[in-house]
Amino acid sequence: MTLQKTRLLLAGAAVSALLIACGQSETKSTTTADQAKQTETVNLPDGITKVEEVKAKSGDEVVIPYTKYTLANGLTVVLHEDKSDPLVHVDMTYHVGSGREEPGRSGFAHFFEHMLFQGSENVADEQHFKLITESGGTLNGSTNADRTNYYQTVPSNQLEKMLWLEADRMGYFLNAVTQEAFEVQRETVKNERGQRYDNRPYGLLFERVGEAMYPEGHPYSWSTIGYLEDLDRADLNDLKKFFVEWYGPNNAVLTIGGDIDKEQTLEWIKTYFGPIPAGPEQEDPVYEPVTLEEDRYISMEDNVQLPLLYMSWPTVHANHPDEAPLDVLANIMGQGQTSLLYKNLQKPGLTVQSNASHGCREIGCTFTMFTLANPAKVQQLGDLEATIRESLTEFEGRGVLDDDLTRVKADIVSSLIYGLESVSGKVSQLAAYETYRDNPNGIGDDIARYEGVTKEDVLRVYEQYIKDNAAVIMSIVPKGQSEMIAQEDTWERYERTIPDTSGESDDFEWSLPVDPEGFDRSVVPPSGENPTIKAPDTYEFAVGDMSVLGAQNTEVPTTTLQLRIKAAQNYDPLEKVGLASLTAGLMNEATTERSAEEISNELDKLGSSVSFSAGDTYTTMTVRTLTENLDATMAIALERLLKPKFSEEDFARDKDNAIQGIRANKKEASVTASNLFNKMMYGADNPTAYASSGTEETVEAITLEDVKGFYAAHYSPKIASVVAVSDLGEAGLKSALEPLTAWTGEDVSSVEMNAFPELNGGTLYFVDKPDAAQSEIRIGKRALPYDATGEYYRAGIMNYPLGGAFNSRINLNLREDKGYTYGARSFFNGDEKAGWYRAGAAVRADATAASIVEFANEIRQYHDSGITDEELTFTKSAIGQSDARAYETPRQKLGFLSRMATYDLEPSFVDEQSDILQGMTKAEIDALADEHLNLDDMIMVVVGDKAKLYDEIVELGYDVVEVDANGNPVE
């Protein structure tokens, strides 16, 4: 589909339903001269100035309707009305990230992301999470090189409370921050670095490349999380000074979308944010081109299975005119099955994965190509580098095809539409555009600049930024295999120059807000009237042998559906576990009619996707498309479903990749711990006790005839059903799915699980992972199969204050109080036939034994004493009000339908759950805790460094058994 055609689609069904009805805004815009201007109907509070109001001025313009305001203190406010669901999304973005830090003071921005959740003058420690969670909301924050944002989605009656919380940490944070909170969060950040960087395969890739790419002292030369030594060197005053410098209202954008009353919202904003004084004026960062005189080869050995080659060229900066053609070049080189890297590296089986991308930040972009080598076919990464360079040369001769431009432009537009399926998606776009461009109305500009890319542009940027230009080339190889690197290092990490900043952190001034007389900011705002929450209306019909369960979603012109075949890993022979997964993977390859590349090209031009996957009990075909392209996309889906080619070439490649993936997963402590726990729960005699990908031995045993046999025996409409969410009504969807009647098949006999093994409660199974910076802990037992309104549901409610929420007992203890982990949780998990209860976390290595003690103490105490009255009130409020967020997006609606279809539920089950929740008593929850949380019935799995931990763990008094990753005893 051409870009113009896509825009006309939006002009018709989409603009009215997607872009205007969500807001119903009056229009007054300063962005284009010919947009209509109307009289402002909102009474503006004193001190708030309206900047502009924007909606589509004509049928072919794509916008998210918004109104933009400023406060006297410099705060920018962007409001978007969306009445489709009873919720609001609040985003506070500060124009500060790691790129505003100074040498020797890295990681401050990310540290503040953590610190600003720790309470302020009028918000107690841990109260921020508690207030939002018990309001039925969800919250988080994120930091990148250029900005930090805090965001929450809550029922619409909670908006005033969210504004109070955001304003209090902006204006009243410094007086409340304590040395204790500072130290705990410093440990939490260290745990995060250990979990995501130091203890993770390839975790140091981007840090090392950044050091080599940018000059010393450049703000992109260090990672967002920063260096541990900088965090260790920082003191509380350093952080306070950084806060005063960057977290003022004049360096922030407050964006709110959803079911809001604009006039009331502005009154609240004035009340809570208006008195906060402006911070120092900040200049936008200055872009300085980065050039490399020659290729910089760097390398490292890591605890990995698959060697990695990463090549990165410096280019331009975000929003530069050449950003768009460089994005198109990246698509041609290494995105999807139409790309040159796929053709030259992945399809021949030389690599397990390959990709090209053009990542942009505010003052720097990089064009990157990377591969994960297949060690069975590649012994030296220099060979892959040569193939990549040959692929670039091939591009010169091949040039840019018409389909290349069509694919990329369709992807841009479809991605924008999919991004508008949630109010959080719309708010996030508005906030980002305003932060980086001072203009929330950036969607039309983005479409226009990609629409304007020509073949000549793409060739020009290749010549200018890539051809014959120097790059950073990094090799990451398994430990002890340095001979595999692409080339000897030509660049060495420097010893960082740390400026002497002693005493500087004491030199800063700041002012508290001066509130109007009589205004008591310490009072938590009340909640508004509870919104009306309604599960989606559903309809049912049959297509051939299959039942279809559907729901209409008129907010976006898209269709998402799943065809669910009730046969997957549960049908795998024990000696060939992984067969269902490998079969599903091959369904994504060539058909008897077309190659995988041809199919991929057609789907990309439609802005659609069709993919197969296999879980424990269902093989699923997932289809996502713009509704205008539903018929064309369903034709491709039917071709994949009915005419898989199952070629020897595809099979050999996919099987080899699966084996390499299994080997790579053995390097992940978290995967090892979870896989071993599952095997302990369900036993070696059940295929679903294993990872769905299988084991090296079982996958090695699978033949192409096995795949063909699994498809013939189990891919049948007799055991299939469809769930779908579309802007089409029932009749329209039924017509679109009619081609599925061509699918025929036989009955498939059901399969039962074998008997489960006896659990040796009180046993701790230890797996040695030498040199691990963190340990993985799993504690649990077999429990209940899924039941939407029975004991399983009630048990989940019981567990919520123990380990189900951020501010649960377990997480507050291990993360917030002790600083042992980045996060700890517990939960019940079940399907139709079985289930288990599990608590777990990745913890700091030196706190492994202490963490086990704390886990055990929390579980025992809850088992013995049960829930408190305060926790019961909190749990009912948090779970009950969260339904306002449950049905917003097509994906959420699809999950609701899938649950109904899987467990044969009526839509009224959500009302039954609500009644059960509100009727739960302390006595009932205490009884459930007593029954299901006896620690003596539970086993423990710990994966960590034996040399450092084993003796201390043995001293805890459990029956400790050392096993390998498969659960076999180690002599």
Read off the tokens for 627. 């509704």
**Residues 874-904 pLDDT 10s:** 999 999 988 888 888 899 999 999 999 999 9
Q: How confident is the model at residue 607 (pLDDT cuts 50, 70, 90)?
A: very high
Q: What is the mean pLDDT of residues 324-352?
A: 95
Residue 597, pLDDT score: 95
> What pLDDT was estimated at residue 180?
86
pLDDT at position 503, please?
Answer: 64
Strand arrangement of the beta sheet that strand 364-373 belongs to = 296-302, 472-478, 308-314, 364-373, 351-361
State the architecture of 87-273 in CATH terms: 2-Layer Sandwich (3.30)
pLDDT in tens, 283-311: 889 899 999 999 999 999 999 999 999 99
Q: Which residues contact 821 (CB under 8 A, 6 or more apart)?
A: 188, 191, 814, 815, 841, 842, 843, 844, 847, 851
Helix (H) or strand (E) run with residue 726 in it: strand 720-726
Query: In whole angstroms, what is the distance from residue 526 CA to residue 160 CA?
Result: 8
Contacts of 241 (CB under 8 A, 6+ apart): 504, 505, 507, 508
> Residue 26: what pLDDT?
31
CA atoms within 13 A on the CB side of 115: 26
Residue 373: the pLDDT is 97
Number of helices (H), then strands (E), belonging to the chain: the values are 32, 24
* CA–CA gap between residue 364 and residue 271 (Å, rounded): 39
Give the other-Cβ count within 10 Å of 879's Cβ: 22
CATH of 763-962, one of 3.30.830.10, 3.60.110.10, 3.40.50.300, 3.90.1150.10: 3.30.830.10
Element (H, E) at 573: none
Q: 3-state class of 701 per DSSP?
A: coil
pLDDT of residue 36: 37
Q: Which of left, alpha, beta for 376 (phi over 0: left; psi -120 to 50: alpha)?
A: alpha
Flag whether pLDDT at 492 surpasses 80.
Answer: yes
Which tops the pLDDT comparison, 480 or 39? 480
CATH 3.30.2320.80 is the classification of domain 539-742: no
Interval 552-578: pLDDT, tens? 998 889 999 999 999 999 999 999 999
Write the pLDDT tens digit of every residue in 786-845: 999 999 999 999 999 999 999 999 999 999 899 899 999 999 999 999 999 999 999 999
Q: State residue 697's pLDDT score.
A: 97
Residue with tokens 């199974």: 765
Q: Is 47 left (phi over 0), alpha (psi -120 to 50) or beta?
A: left
Mean pLDDT of 673-691: 95
Going by pLDDT thresholds of 50, 70 and 90, the confidence category of residue 58 is: low
CATH numeric code, 296-418+440-484: 3.30.830.10
- Confidence bin at 409 (pLDDT 50/70/90): confident
> Is pLDDT larger for residue 722 or for residue 772?
722
Contact 1, 24 (CB under 8 A): no
CA distance 90 to 257: 7
pLDDT one-digit tens code per residue, 542-554: 999 999 999 999 8
Asked if residue 59 has pLDDT above 80, the reply is no
HSE-up (13 A, CA, CB side) for residue 682: 26
- Res 1: pLDDT: 34
Coil vs helix vs strand at 258: strand
Q: In sequence order, what are the beta bridge partners of 70?
A: 49, 76
Query: 648, 806, 802, 630: which is closest to 728 by C-alpha?
Result: 630
Closest CA to 210 of 500, 497, 491: 491
Identify whether the C-beta of residue 247 lies closer than 8 Å to the C-beta of residue 96: yes
**Percent of the chain surpassing pLDDT 70:** 95
Task: Give me the helices (H) in 116-178, please.
Answer: 127-134, 159-171
Assigned token pair, 238: 């350093």
Q: What residue ranges do the domains of the chain occupy?
A: 3-45+52-65, 87-273, 296-418+440-484, 539-742, 763-962
The two tokens of residue 851 are 């963490």
Same fold, 87-273 and 763-962: yes
Residues belonging to the chain: 971
Residue 145 has pLDDT above 60, yes or no: yes
3-state secondary structure of 76: strand
Query: Would you say 450 and 259 are in contact if contact means Cβ atoms under 8 Å apart?
Result: no
Average confidence (pLDDT) over 52-80: 89
Closest residue by Cα to residue 557 from 733, 727, 729: 727
pLDDT digits (tens, 9 = 90+) for 479-489: 999 999 999 99
φ/ψ of 860, rounded to 5, equals: -60, -45
pLDDT at 40: 52
pLDDT exceeding 90 applies to what percent of the chain? Answer: 79
CA distances from 924 to 196, 380, 707, 795, 866 (A): 40, 63, 49, 10, 10
pLDDT(950) > 90: yes
Selection from 388, 311, 307 nearest residue 352 by Cα: 307
- pLDDT tens column, 902-929: 999 999 999 999 999 999 999 999 999 9
| Lowest-confidence segment of 260-269, 463-472, 765-774, 851-860 by average pLDDT | 765-774
Report pLDDT for 60. 64
More confident residue, 113 or 778: 778
Where helices occur in 315-454 by DSSP H, the ranges are: 323-334, 340-341, 381-398, 402-419, 423-437, 443-451
Asked whether residue 184 carries a pLDDT value surpassing 90, the answer given is: no
**Average pLDDT value over all residues in the chain:** 91
What is d(CA 960, CA 433) in angstroms, rounded to the nearest whole number? 55
> Which pLDDT belongs to residue 723?
98
Angle among Cα 167, 26, 419 to the nearest 5 degrees reads 65
User: What local confidence, expressed as pLDDT, does residue 236 receive?
Assistant: 86
651-680 pLDDT per residue, tens? 999 999 999 999 999 989 999 999 999 999
